[in-house]
Structure 1
């Protein structure tokens, strides 16, 4: 029995034994527990008691009775007015009816006054209760704020624009110069433009069999692209189409005044420098699927020669593809810029490429879309390269103007998504929180 008492007391008190002299023993008692908040408990009890006194079944019944009385008086007043209108002879009956109506109005006014007084008391009680609750929440928030240590710098992988939360639009919707002529293609802006080309737009159309292209078309402004006036016109990669190192597939991007794309008939990425007209290649891993064997797809259709998808974001150029050893799942590699570009780092995901219709990058995060209906596309998946976290429930929907989006690329210059849909150029605004 004594043991049961000693254990909790030891948890609350600290005994310090001091021996100042041989004939005297002194013990200091130190209470390590927090003092019980008697004052706060008393205040809470008082508030609860006042609340119980103000809100009682009797007062609730009183309020309901007043409402019921008012509800019954108003139809009666309407009936009396109708009687006055029917029997108004300007003399005795009219005077009597007016007296009855006056009495009715007096009683109704009394009911309304009582109802207002009761309602005001209840409103005041609600206000007091709300203020106390807000004060409690504020105190709690203040205490938690003091306890949580704040990092000295933002966590790694945070987007400078905020969290990607939605897509709106279409903002731009144009057939360009060749309405209905070229079903596959890509367009957009250079995130790292050469001097004097900050407002330029580029366009690459699959001009041979909806599969191949051998030039990039430039526009000095968005309005020039919309009305179809190309200045300075085409920059030719090669006079033949297709041939060695020309474009294969619609998923191309322009970055740093250079076009990145899937080299013709190779599992490699080509970089075509628009200023020097030179081409460098980056070989992808052995087993990379190409020549329309690892396309983007949905249930009804696969988009031909979309084995490799090039993407740009705030940090540069990325390539999205799949390999035999990854069993068809998406693989992501970052392009390291330089005189001879290489792949700096590679990530492997668990999403099957042929269950995806398109991909794009934003702030180092890979996003994948899927076909929902002819009018709707869904951004359903993300992979954060800074944390390795995958999400399959993004749930952001894109309103389509055409059933299929053959290329989709994010522009960090203006936070826009540029889509190429059955020969139409469409753009959407990306919203960050």
Structure 2
């Protein structure tokens, strides 16, 4: 029905133009009439194109006004002190004024209008879910881990519990880098300022340490794209096969190395060397015993481009699995075998991707 109305509108425009031509036939010569018709055809072509592309539409003011009003109502529940919220209010007001102007002209670029409304809506929802700032000293070193009871609590920033591991950021058992994971009630991470991994038992509060011979640390072999992400030399990962540590060594020419760790005895049982230079990837993770690596495409897109199967030793660098993101750098990327999702910490946001096999 919508396309039928659009066709009717275009036919009306053409009919009016032809009527105007017929009234002037007696006073215009044939060449002049040809020029007039050519001009009218050119003017009509742009409307025909817009109609074909679905961009020339009559947009119901009532429906659009309701959506904009819903955004205004939602914004009333957002803290006014947030700079982002104030900016969204300003943009929302300008958007409403622009829509009113377009409505008076009775012509809309529907695709652009809806995209702008969707963008504003997403940003409003973001303001609703982001709690007050939780500030740390950075991801080079840390002394505590924050736990949430449920996923909903995490999203709302409520009902958390802070587990203090050590008394000082520079303690020998302090955390270094963003590659920390929790696996079977243990916290695994790179020990501060050393090529070792630490294990903290959440029940007994006891520590264990495991050395990684020849492993690079302190920004010797970090993950990189255009710029390197500091303190990402050693990265822990877990899947349904067990606990893994991903790093690089001089002996392997700075290429990725992956070792399997026995979490009962806390020692390295197997090590595999790849031919993928660690500084050429943005992050890596394990799924079903396969090492996957990502690379930077642009600020808003990442790509899984490489896989190494620890069972067969086969490498595949022809993958092209896109992942949308919100910022350039990827601080942390892990697979959770319980819900089969990938979790990325990116630009202050936690992003989740459903994995299918």
TM-score (norm: length of structure 2): 0.63
1:303 to 212, 226, 229: 229
Helix, strand or coil at the partner of 1:223: helix
Return the index of the structure with the highest Cα Rg: 1
2:156 to 218, 223, 227: 227
Structure 1 residue 225: Cα displacement: 0.3
- Is it true that 1:292 corresponds to 2:219 in the alignment? yes
The aligned counterpart of 1:272 is 200
Alignment: residue pair count: 233
Residue ranges of structure 2 left out of the alignment (5+ in a row): 1-121
From the superposition, tell whether residues 319 and 225 of structure 1 become closer, same or farther in structure 2 (CA, over 3 Å).
Answer: same
The aligned counterpart of 2:347 is 422
* 1: CA distance, partners of 2:254 / 2:238: 23
CA contact (8 A) 1:173 1:424 kept: no
Residue ranges of structure 1 left out of the alignment (5+ in a row): 1-169, 183-206
Structure 1 residue 262: Cα displacement: 0.4
The aligned counterpart of 1:246 is 174
Which aligned pairs between 1:22-41 and structure 2 lie closer than 5 A?
Answer: none
Structure 1 residue 223: Cα displacement: 0.3
Which aligned pairs between 1:104-119 and structure 2 lie closer than 5 A?
Answer: none
CA contact (8 A) 2:326 2:347 kept: no
- Is it true that 1:257 corresponds to 2:185 in the alignment? yes
Query: Greater relative contact order (Cα 8 A, min sep 6): structure 1 or 2?
Result: 1
Q: Deviations over 1:149-188 (max 9, x none)?
A: xxxxxxxxxxxxxxxxxxxxx9x98975454x65xxxxxx
From the superposition, tell whether residues 173 and 292 of structure 1 become closer, same or farther in structure 2 (CA, over 3 Å).
Answer: farther
TM-score (norm: length of structure 1): 0.52
Q: Deviations over 1:190-231 (max 9, x none)?
A: xxxxxxxxxxxxxxxxx2243111111111100000000134
CA contact (8 A) 1:260 1:269 kept: yes
Helix, strand or coil at the partner of 1:252: strand
CA contact (8 A) 1:268 1:281 kept: yes
The aligned counterpart of 2:277 is 352
Helix, strand or coil at the partner of 2:170: coil
From the superposition, tell whether residues 243 and 173 of structure 1 become closer, same or farther in structure 2 (CA, over 3 Å).
Answer: farther
* 1: CA distance, partners of 2:169 / 2:159: 21
The aligned counterpart of 1:11 is none
From the superposition, tell whether residues 279 and 347 of structure 1 become closer, same or farther in structure 2 (CA, over 3 Å).
Answer: same
Which aligned pairs between 1:163-182 and structure 2 lie closer than 5 A?
Answer: 176-179=130-133
* 1: CA distance, partners of 2:346 / 2:140: 15
* 2: CA distance, partners of 1:282 / 1:178: 37
Structure 1 residue 302: Cα displacement: 0.3
From the superposition, tell whether residues 274 and 260 of structure 1 become closer, same or farther in structure 2 (CA, over 3 Å).
Answer: same
